[in-house]
Amino acid sequence: MASHLLYLFLILNSFFILSASTATNTTITQEKTCPFESIYQFGDSISDVGNLIRKGPAGAKSYAARLPYGEAFLHRPTGRCSNGLLMIDYIAMALRLPLLNPYLQPFVPKDHGVNFAVAGSTALNSSFFMARGIHVPQSNSPLSLQLNWFRNHLKLLCQTRKDCEKRLQRALVFVGEIGGNDYNYAFFQGKLVEEISTYVPHVVRATTDAVEEVIGEGAIRVVVPGNFPVGCIPIYLTSFPNSNPNAYDDLKCLKDLNKFARFHNNHLKRALEKLRQKYPHVVILYADYYAAFLSVLRRAPHLGFEPSSLNKACCGIGGQYNYDGSRMCGHAGVPVCSNPKQHIHWDGVHLTQEAYRHMSEWLLHEILSKIKCVW
Ligand X SMILES: *[C@@H]1O[C@H](CO)[C@@H](O)[C@H](O)[C@H]1NC(C)=O
User: For ligand X, which is the closer residue by CB, 249 or 366?
Assistant: 366
| Active-site position among 309, 350, 358, 360 | 350
- In the residue annotation, 350 being an active-site residue is answered as yes
Annotated catalytic residue: which of 89, 347, 358, 360? 347
- Catalytic site residue 14? no
Q: What are the distances in angstroms from CA 350 to CA 47, 252, 365? A: 10, 18, 22
**Whose Cβ is closer to ligand X: residue 10's or residue 20's?**
20
Cα separation of 328 and 169, whole Å? 42
93 vs 275, which CB is nearer to ligand X? 93
> Catalytic residue among 38, 45, 47, 141, which?
45
Chain residues in the site for ligand X (CB under 6 A): 25, 27-28, 125, 144
N-term to C-term CA, the chain: 44
Based on the residue annotation, tell me whether 82 is a catalytic residue of this protein.
Answer: no
Q: Are strands 101-102 and 38-42 parallel, antiparallel or unpaired?
A: unpaired
User: Closest Cα partner for 224 from 119, 360, 367, 355?
Assistant: 367
Q: What share of the chain is helix, strand, coil (3-state, %, to 5)?
A: 50, 10, 40
Shortest gap between Cβ of 125 and ligand X (angstroms)? 4
State in angstroms the smallest separation of the CB of 14 from ligand X. Answer: 17
Q: One-letter amino acid identity for 5?
A: L
In angstroms, the CA 80 to CA 54 distance is 12
Whether the CA torsion 98, 99, 103, 107 is positive or negative: it is negative
- Minimum separation from the CB atom of position 145 to ligand X (A): 7
Q: How many alpha carbons fall within 13 Å on the CB side of residue 363?
A: 31
Strands 101-102 and 171-175: unpaired
CB of 251 to ligand X, least distance (A): 26
Nearest residue (CB) to ligand X, 124 versus 336: 124
> What minimum distance in Å lies between the beta carbon of 105 and ligand X?
23
> Which one, 87 or 232, has the nearer CB to ligand X?
87
In the chain, where does DSSP find H-type helix? 2-23, 26-33, 56-60, 87-94, 126-130, 143-157, 161-169, 180-188, 193-197, 200-217, 234-239, 255-278, 289-303, 353-370
Q: Degrees (nearest 5) of the Cα angle 353, 359, 149?
A: 75
Please, which residue, 29 or 266, has the CB nearer to ligand X? 29
C-alpha to C-alpha distances, 68 to 80, 84, 87, 108, 327, nearest whole angstrom: 11, 9, 19, 24, 14
Closest CB to ligand X among residues 90, 187: 90
Q: Which residues are catalytic?
A: 45, 347, 350
